[in-house]
Amino acid sequence: MNPIHVFKFGGASVKSADAIRNLATIVKRYSTKNLVIVVSAMAKTTNALEEVLMHWMNGDFTALEKKLNEIEQFHISAAVELVDGNKNHVLIAELQTLFTQLKNQFSQVPSKGYDYHYDQVVSFGELLSTRIVSHYLNYIGIANSLIDARRCLRSDTSYREGVIDETTSSYLCQREFDFTSANIFLTQGFIAGTEVGTTTTLGREGSDYTAAILANLLDAQDVTIWKDVAGVLSADPKIFSNAVKLDFVSYQEAIELAYCGAQIIHPKTIKPLQNKKIPLYVKSFVEPDAPGSTIAHSDTPVKLPPVLVLKRNQVLITLTPRDFSFVIEDCLSKIFALLYKHRVKVNMVHNSAISFTVCVDDDKLRLSQALEDMKTDFVVRYNSHLELLTIRHYTPEVIENLVGNRVVYLQQRTRSTSRFVMDRQ
């Protein structure tokens, strides 16, 4: 069989009818190859659906309806434009069916918990976008089959953070992506299905992970993530003006960067690729001929300039055992068990004899529950609205420039990496 290439198009690459036309020109060039195309929700639809969910949970039906209408108008008008104004095209009817399914949920009381309902609502972003892209490609003669990701990626019931069962998913993927019957398949990023067919999601920005796991399960030759930037950059150009493109990044470096909070790719993306040595290309959908960046295996260390990652909305929590016991193994394991139980993401830790400090994302809901739980055994103090700056391959000058006159709450330095928890600027 010819090699399989996996493409991932994120929200920005499908943000409008024009963007979807651009996507189609890219796909057209590769249309004789075996392709699996993973698509995210259009533009900021995921955020918009999160708002809808919030309104439902709060019982604010006026706000809910307003937001839903916006989402509906946005999708329908892009779709109508793509099929040359033909409101009778089957695509429009299919989108309307999806909107009816979405809305039907809101006539009930959200009684099954936030995470469960999150997945049932927010997954519609990808269900809608893939319907539009798939129909449009077919409409302009790029024949493709739309696969429902919930039928090929089997997850457990950890809503909002579905864990993929690779063995079952591998079997399902071989069955669904049948390259003897077609050569271009399109599917949703970010979503999966449980054994009984309930929808789960894989964590925000999880479409990269979908692309990687599909590449792994289908033994693809490579994965290309098409983005609105030139490739992997040494910093976020919106924050640091002298960002440069990195031509080559090893898997190891990429996983470190993603863990520190770099927005290049979802942190879970690298492992499935590294396990099968599948290279990942990050390319610009604006300049598809430009070389982009390659993330792949490297036997020797690759020299990189200083790479900056800024994570905002951080909270620094300090825990002191109420009974004044040392922060040693049993105490640490108790703290980590609590953090794990509440799914609080740990970004940096530090301990002294009788205190433990941890820097975490400010996920309000999870954090407030975790803090409550911690108060049983610990005196809890915390600072919020902080930033965590990571500088990989630092130089003294870069540290001086970025940290010199800032208030630093916590810092750590290894030979390759410096990290600073600071007040926001």
**Interacting residue with ligand ASP among 41, 233, 235, 389 (CB under 6 A):** 41
CB of 11 to Mg ion, least distance (A): 3
CB nearer to Mg ion: pick between 11 and 110: 11
Residues 380-419 contacting Mg ion, CB under 5 A: none
Look up residue 315 and give its two tokens. Answer: 């909270």
Binding mask 44-83 for ligand ASP (x = CB under 6 A): --x-------------------------------------
Which residue is listed with tokens 């309104």?
A: 55
> E strands along 170-236, which residues?
184-188, 191-193, 199-201, 222-227, 232-233
**Interacting residue with Mg ion among 5, 9, 11, 159 (CB under 5 A):** 11
CB of 305 to ligand ASP, least distance (A): 27
Binding mask 109-148 for ligand ASP (x = CB under 6 A): ----------------x-----------------------
CB nearer to ligand ASP: pick between 13 and 320: 13
256 binds, among ligand ASP, Mg ion, none (CB under 5 to 8 A by kind): none
Question: Which residue's CB atom is positioned nearest to ligand ASP?
Answer: 207
11 is a site residue for ligand ASP (CB under 6 A):
yes
Q: How far apart are CA 190 and CA 202, in angstroms?
A: 5
Which residue is listed with tokens 């709450």?
A: 409
Radius of gyration, alpha carbons of the chain:
23
Q: What is the residue-wise DSSP string for 223-241?
A: EEEEESSSSEESS-TTT-T
162 binds, among Mg ion, ligand ASP, none (CB under 5 to 8 A by kind): none
Report the SS3 class of residue 190.
coil
Q: How far apart are CA 211 and CA 213, in angstroms?
A: 6
206 is a site residue for ligand ASP (CB under 6 A):
yes
190 binds, among Mg ion, ligand ASP, none (CB under 5 to 8 A by kind): ligand ASP
Report the SS3 class of residue 312.
strand
Piece of the chain touching Mg ion by CB under 5 A; list 34-42, 259-267, 335-343, 406-414: 34-42
# of chain residues touching ligand ASP (CB under 6 A): 12
Q: How far apart are CA 92 and CA 83, in angstroms?
A: 9
CA angle 230, 235, 240 (to 5 degrees): 110
One-letter amino acid for residue 259 of the chain: Y
Report the SS3 class of residue 413.
strand
Piece of the chain touching ligand ASP by CB under 6 A; list 90-98, 201-209, 218-226, 313-321: 201-209
190 is a site residue for ligand ASP (CB under 6 A):
yes
CB of 38 to ligand ASP, least distance (A): 9
CB of 131 to Mg ion, least distance (A): 16
Q: How far apart are CA 21 and CA 150, in angstroms?
A: 26
Q: How far apart are CA 255 and CA 295, in angstroms?
A: 10
Provide the H-helix boundaries in 224-328: 251-260, 270-275
Piece of the chain touching Mg ion by CB under 5 A; list 28-36, 38-46, 179-187, 236-244: 38-46
# of chain residues touching Mg ion (CB under 5 A): 2
188 is a site residue for Mg ion (CB under 5 A):
no
Look up residue 288 and give its two tokens. Answer: 């598809």
Characterize the bridge pairing of strands 34-39 and 184-188.
Answer: parallel
**Interacting residue with ligand ASP among 205, 253, 256, 361 (CB under 6 A):** 205
Reported as type and span, the H/E element at residue 317 is: strand 307-321
Look up residue 228 and give its two tokens. Answer: 């609105």
189 is a site residue for ligand ASP (CB under 6 A):
yes
**Interacting residue with ligand ASP among 103, 151, 160, 204 (CB under 6 A):** 204
207 is a site residue for ligand ASP (CB under 6 A):
yes
CB of 5 to Mg ion, least distance (A): 21
CB nearer to ligand ASP: pick between 189 and 231: 189
Q: Is 273 exposed, middle or buried (0-12, 13-18, 19+ CB in 10 A)?
A: buried
CB of 125 to ligand ASP, least distance (A): 5
Q: How many helices and strands, by DSSP H and E, does the chain display?
A: 14, 18
28 has which bridge partners?
none
**Footprint of Mg ion (CB under 5 A):** 11, 40
**Footprint of ligand ASP (CB under 6 A):** 10-11, 40-41, 46, 125, 189-190, 204-207
